[in-house]
């Protein structure tokens, strides 16, 4: 079994650190004493975040980079090793959103979403894997989405990119296992999360976009990332409703189609809000906040169970046992 260091002894690279889940993860890791390498497109927000990290008693290195540019990504890895001597955990968080039907989507918009959300994660892994091997072992964490399994309308490019991350993580995990490389590969799949993505995304649906409820605070995903940095974990699905939807999609796809036709279009349009003026699809805008402007839950039972696998196993056993007993009673009455 691969043993990962406590985060208090780790050097952690966060690609996409300036806002949303990345920013919240940086602050949580700083509280735990990790040394951080912070990267995203905008230097100003990174410097402000680094100041907060240092005020919490942790070290931080700022390296701006565009995840679609491999030379810039590799520079992040090189400077991290030069500054701290090694990399223990590499987290790919950078992403952009586009809410539009496929017919409304231009080829350039499609390519940009795929480049940032999927190709960027692959380039990050290419830079990270040699570093993690040199350090004697570590964690490679891909932050994806439940739409990797459960595609949503208005999100053709975004859903396709997350499906791609899911396949990428599986392949990298197999290749590293074949080499017996001491690197864990985790895919984090958050449900709807209130981040600035929904204020910064390009929208063509006549309204500001929002995730399907229930919606969670970024802290829920950040806690999962910190857990994966210390505990080798295959994947973490954050949100019980999302997991139920994924199960329903696999066994009752026609039912899920009917559900999404009923709710998937209406509930992704923010009531009373026009299309956002900010648009970070091609240019860096916004940033500097962990959370967006939506009502969100601070706790997810499903996410908590992902971080406590023994409790998750006990609960699963109890559910199976209850179903077996119910079936046995029903048969006995016949």
| Helix, strand, coil shares, percent, the chain, to 5 | 50, 15, 35
**pLDDT score recorded for residue 334:** 59
Q: What is the pTM of this model?
A: 0.89
Phi, psi of 198 (to 5 degrees): -80, -15
**pLDDT score recorded for residue 123:** 98
CA distance 258 to 262: 6
In the numeric block, the tokens 């969670």 are attached to 216
Question: Minimal CA–CA distance to 184: which of 148, 225, 239, 223?
Answer: 225
**pLDDT score recorded for residue 286:** 62
Active-site residue, from 149, 154, 158, 216: 158
**pLDDT score recorded for residue 315:** 55
What secondary structure letter does DSSP report for 212? P
3-state secondary structure of 291: coil
**pLDDT score recorded for residue 326:** 47
Q: Tell me how far the alpha carbon of residue 242 is from its chain's centroid.
A: 14
**pLDDT score recorded for residue 323:** 43
In the numeric block, the tokens 């990399």 are attached to 87
Statement: 7-299 belongs to CATH 3.40.50.720:
yes
**Residue ranges per structural domain of the chain:** 7-299
List per-block mean pLDDT (blocks of 10 residues) for the chain, which spans 334 residues. Answer: 93 96 98 97 94 97 97 98 98 95 98 97 98 96 95 96 98 97 97 91 93 94 97 94 90 93 93 67 78 78 73 53 50 59
Active-site residue 259, yes or no? no
CA distance 108 to 6: 42
**pLDDT score recorded for residue 83:** 98
Partnered with residue 4 across adjacent β-strands are none
CA distance 30 to 50: 10
Q: Tell me how far the alpha carbon of residue 292 is from its chain's centroid.
A: 16
**pLDDT score recorded for residue 275:** 61
């Amino acid at each position: 079994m691969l043993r990962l260091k406590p985060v208090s002894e780790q050097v952690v690279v966060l690609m996409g650190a300036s806002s949303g889940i990345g920013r919240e993860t940086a602050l949580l890791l700083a509280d735990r004493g990790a040394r951080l390498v912070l990267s995203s497109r905008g230097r100003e927000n990174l410097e402000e975040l680094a100041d907060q990290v240092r005020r919490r008693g942790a070290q931080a290195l700022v390296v701006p980079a565009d995840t679609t540019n491999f030379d810039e990504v590799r520079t992040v890895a090189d400077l991290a090793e030069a500054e701290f001597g090694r990399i223990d955990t590499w987290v790919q968080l950078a992403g952009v959103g586009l809410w539009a039907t496929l017919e409304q989507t231009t080829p350039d918009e499609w390519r940009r979403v795929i480049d940032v959300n999927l190709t960027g994660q692959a380039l990050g892994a290419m830079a990270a894997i040699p570093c993690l091997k040199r350090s004697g072992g570590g964690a490679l964490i891909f932050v994806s989405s439940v739409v990797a399994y459960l595609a949503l309308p208005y999100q053709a490019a975004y859903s396709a990119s997350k499906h791609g991350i899911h396949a990428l993580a599986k392949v990298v995990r197999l290749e590293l296992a074949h080499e017996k490389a001491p690197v864990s590969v985790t895919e984090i799949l958050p449900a709807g999360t209130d981040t600035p993505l929904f204020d910064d995304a390009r929208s063509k649906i006549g309204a500001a976009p929002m995730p399907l409820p229930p919606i969670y605070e970024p802290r829920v995903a950040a806690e999962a990332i910190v857990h994966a940095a210390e505990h080798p974990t295959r994947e973490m699905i954050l949100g019980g409703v999302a997991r139920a939807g994924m199960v329903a999609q696999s066994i009752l796809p026609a039912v899920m189609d009917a559900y999404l036709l009923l709710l998937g279009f209406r509930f992704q349009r923010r009531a009373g809000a026009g299309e956002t003026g900010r648009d970070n699809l091609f240019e860096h805008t916004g940033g500097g906040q962990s959370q967006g402007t939506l009502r969100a839950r601070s706790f997810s039972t499903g996410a908590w169970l992902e971080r406590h696998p023994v409790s998750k196993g006990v609960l699963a056993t109890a559910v199976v046992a209850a179903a077996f007993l119910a079936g046995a009673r029903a048969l006995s009455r016949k």
